[in-house]
Structure 1
Amino acid sequence: MRTKTVRVLLVEDDDGDAVLVEALLEEANAPFVLSRAGTLAEAEQMLSDAECVLLDLGLPDSQGLTGLHRLLAKQNAPAILVLTGLDDEREGIDAVAAGAEDYLIKGKVDGELLLRGVRYAVERRRAEDAQRKLREAELIAAERARLERGLLPPPLLQNSDVDLEVRYQPGGQRMLLGGDFYDAVGLPDGTVHAIIGDVCGHGPDEAALGVCLRIAWRALVLAGEPAEKVLKTLDQVLVAERHGEGIFTTACMVTVSPDRRSARYFLAGHPEPLMMVGRQIVDLPKSKIGVPLGVLTDYAWTGVDVPLPSGWSLACYTDGLIEGRVPDDVDRLGVERLCEILGRHLQDGPNWMDSVIAEVTELNGGALDDDVAILLLKDGK
């Protein structure tokens, strides 16, 4: 099997020592491409093209371990083998402790030893990089799972005659955790509250803010605060906790009465819920979509009252479901076409969520850019 060529950068200001290294590599018939820098500054410019650096610790612009520290601080620094003199072995040991892969003593190394040293250094650095990336991936996965548990918790609807189904699909283009969240709580008097929200942006900061708002909402609802006050308080929490001045959140909050004959919903810059009875989509009363949370101070959100016929269901969703692309159209999918899709799938029965998400994704030509969350409340009587 052909041995892969290794790109080696020799950082050495002494011409005699440089010629010696070149001769040793030729002696070992080593598959190396050797380049040379006479100063540390030159080496820093050439570092990105090297897999292994042979570094002399005594350079015109760097003495001792200073040069090693500077090279190791570079992003994606290659493997580094330190070259020391006969009287400087202690310095070589210190260099390994500081992050060098190994050290070689000038005058005590032949071609084969140099060859093995370089190969060992390169493979060790590759193994270390692989381990580091694995640890980073594991940490990111653990943090993502923790944030998802906060964004998408188990609902508190024990012993309730309102059924709940939820779906969540992360945006596939970025594979970054977004700030979509939902929750549902049943109170002792039979009232059921639900919320779905979307923090603008993607990433851990947005997800953490979504968790904060979702927990605050649950605490306020369990404390019995009226819906109007809940939204005002969430607005205050958002402004206090957000990491940027322009960060806002859209939300839809629904309250189902204890007798299940009516509901009230509030919109804070969020898509209107969809109501279904049997296999039909029912028009809701015209409503004003209030401003998102975090946009205007002292804004008052008003609710819309909706009668609930027997066999009702209410679907709340985030805008990732309606912002997908449509073939041969510059516009996004939109609510009207979503209702057309939903209407067709309702004819096949009540379990429509997965098939609707699948069709919207297919129309988009692949994974949707934004996260999709759906919260479906249903008459369980």
Structure 2
Amino acid sequence: MIDVDDARRAPGPDVPATLRLLVVEDDEGDWMLASEHLADSGLDARLTWARTLDEAALMLDVDCVLLDLGLPDASGLPALRRLLAAGAPPVIVLTGLADSTTGLAAVAAGAQDYLVKSDVDGERLARSVRYAIARRQLEHADRALYRSLVREQETTRLEQALLPRPAVNDRALELLVGYRAGRDGVLGGDFYDAVERLDGTVLAIVGDVCGHGPDEAALGATLRTAWRTLVLAGVPTDDLFGLLERVLEAERPRAEIFTTVAMVAVAPDRRSADLYLAGHPVPLVLGTPTTLASAARRGRALGIPVPGGWTPLHLDLPASWRLLLYTDGLMEATLADSTERIGKPGLLAVVDESLAAEALDPGGPDVVERVIEGVRTLHGGDLVDDAAVVVVGWRA
């Protein structure tokens, strides 16, 4: 049961204690009557008076509008629609017409309530004002919740496109993947993937679309999907970057957007690999100590209009080996409470510490999780930039 006194005196949890009300009424007597009703109700309100709809349209920075449907410059439902189109807050229609059909039509058109002037007293008017404001706030909350759910669904779809399940059947090959979104939790353009060809060759890739936000995330998802499609279609490895660049140029929202990529193609016997670099940081060769792979064959980033292509660097691999591919969110993270970046030396140290911890606790987190968490610890919290990591390895 609604307590009338509570509705009259106590503001709801989201209703301002002092309300700003606009009364749109051309009759001075009715304006004074509405003012008296609100004063009698005990409602803490500051009233503003507008005699025409045009005047009211310039005075909508209020919490609620009391609107007469018979104005000199507008009447009936068109007046209500004009006011709502002008960005009005909650509107309560006040009219002398005791016509329930008109009242229902007004509510259907967007009014929060419909009151007949001859039937209104202070309590009823105050309650209607409070309820109108509360309902509008609930509508805003519902819309915000809906938008949040839609964004969550979009993020989930982007995650599935950016962070797929590797399509590798060789269970003897070690393949670990990891991703950490930046501080704001919004996916960026970092992506990874790994696919095994029919002949047993395994290709693994990490990429980073420059910039942050939904456009970059969507482009990263497109590039990742295009890369997997090209690999599964049997496109020669040497042609992948050129075709991927064509997809980038066709899909990027702005001409200045580019993408860096690192890719390894591991031979079917797992004793050699070809390393392709498109403006991307070189992978790490995990070991004691961990070292950087050679950057001797680094090519230009995709989407940069300068000469040059992508010649692979052939790697002869030992009986047991592990390569770590990553995006620059790991290196560019700063040390806590400073502007100094972790950089390559810091990342190498984190990796060596992670490998040592893995050796002591082989049943614990994998090396990818340890590396990401190690960088996060040095940074002192969530990373500013996204980070994608892939480890591919073979143990004799």
TM-score, structure 1 normalization: 0.90
How far apart are residue 123 of structure 1 and its match? 1.9
Alignment of 1:11-50 (within 5 A): 11-48=24-61, 50=62
Contact 1:266 1:304 in 2 (8 A): yes
How far apart are residue 223 of structure 1 and its match? 2.1
What amino acid is the match of 1:118? V
In 1: Cα distance, 2:233 partner to 2:335 partner: 44
Contact 1:178 1:206 in 2 (8 A): yes
Change (3 A) 1:150 1:18: same
Contact 2:175 2:393 in 1 (8 A): yes
What amino acid is the match of 2:241? L
Change (3 A) 1:319 1:286: closer
Change (3 A) 1:327 1:152: closer
Change (3 A) 1:27 1:147: same
Which of these residues, 14, 17, 20, is aligned with residue 7 of structure 1? 20
Q: Deviations over 1:102-140 (max 9, x none)?
A: 111222211122122112212221222222221111111
**SS of alignment partner, residue 325 of structure 1:** coil
Q: Deviations over 1:140-161 (max 9, x none)?
A: 1111101111111111111342
Which of these residues, 64, 69, 85, is aligned with residue 57 of structure 1? 69
Farther-moved stretch of structure 1 (28-37 vs 242-251):
28-37
Which of these residues, 318, 323, 333, is aligned with residue 332 of structure 2? 323
Aligned to 1:170: 181
Aligned to 2:14: none
How far apart are residue 70 of structure 1 and its match? 4.3
In 2: Cα distance, 1:63 partner to 1:319 partner: 63
How far apart are residue 298 of structure 1 and its match? 7.0
Alignment of 1:114-153 (within 5 A): 114-153=125-164
What amino acid is the match of 2:320? G
Contact 2:189 2:220 in 1 (8 A): yes
Contact 2:283 2:323 in 1 (8 A): yes
Change (3 A) 1:167 1:43: farther
Aligned to 2:363: none
Number of equivalences: 377
Aligned to 1:377: 392
Contact 2:354 2:374 in 1 (8 A): no
What amino acid is the match of 2:262? C
In 2: Cα distance, 1:225 partner to 1:321 partner: 31
Change (3 A) 1:138 1:334: same
Question: Percent same amino acid at aligned positions?
Answer: 47
Contact 1:89 1:105 in 2 (8 A): no
Contact 1:324 1:332 in 2 (8 A): yes
Aligned to 1:253: 263
Aligned to 1:156: 167
Q: Deviations over 1:167-217 (max 9, x none)?
A: 111112x33221211110112222100111112223332222212111111
Which of these residues, 184, 204, 210, is aligned with residue 194 of structure 1? 204
In 2: Cα distance, 1:56 partner to 1:147 partner: 50
How far apart are residue 52 of structure 1 and its match? 1.9
Contact 2:368 2:390 in 1 (8 A): no
Change (3 A) 1:17 1:367: same
Alignment of 1:197-346 (within 5 A): 197-277=207-287, 279-296=288-305, 299-327=308-336, 329-346=338-355
How far apart are residue 327 of structure 1 and its match? 3.9
Change (3 A) 1:274 1:86: same
Farther-moved stretch of structure 1 (89-98 vs 334-343):
89-98
In 1: Cα distance, 2:146 partner to 2:237 partner: 44
**Does 2:198 align with 1:183?**
no
What amino acid is the match of 1:36? W
Contact 2:300 2:309 in 1 (8 A): no
How far apart are residue 22 of structure 1 and its match? 0.5
Gaps of 5+ in 1: none
Contact 1:160 1:186 in 2 (8 A): no
**Considering only aligned residues, what root-mean-square deviation do their CA atoms show, in Å?**
2.4
Q: Deviations over 1:316-351 (max 9, x none)?
A: 111111121224643422222211222222222263
Aligned to 2:84: 72
Change (3 A) 1:356 1:38: farther
Which of these residues, 335, 352, 370, is aligned with residue 355 of structure 1? 370
How far apart are residue 56 of structure 1 and its match? 2.5
What amino acid is the match of 1:362? T
Change (3 A) 1:56 1:326: same
What amino acid is the match of 1:324? A
How far apart are residue 88 of structure 1 and its match? 6.5
Contact 1:228 1:300 in 2 (8 A): no
What amino acid is the match of 1:228? D
Contact 1:182 1:197 in 2 (8 A): yes
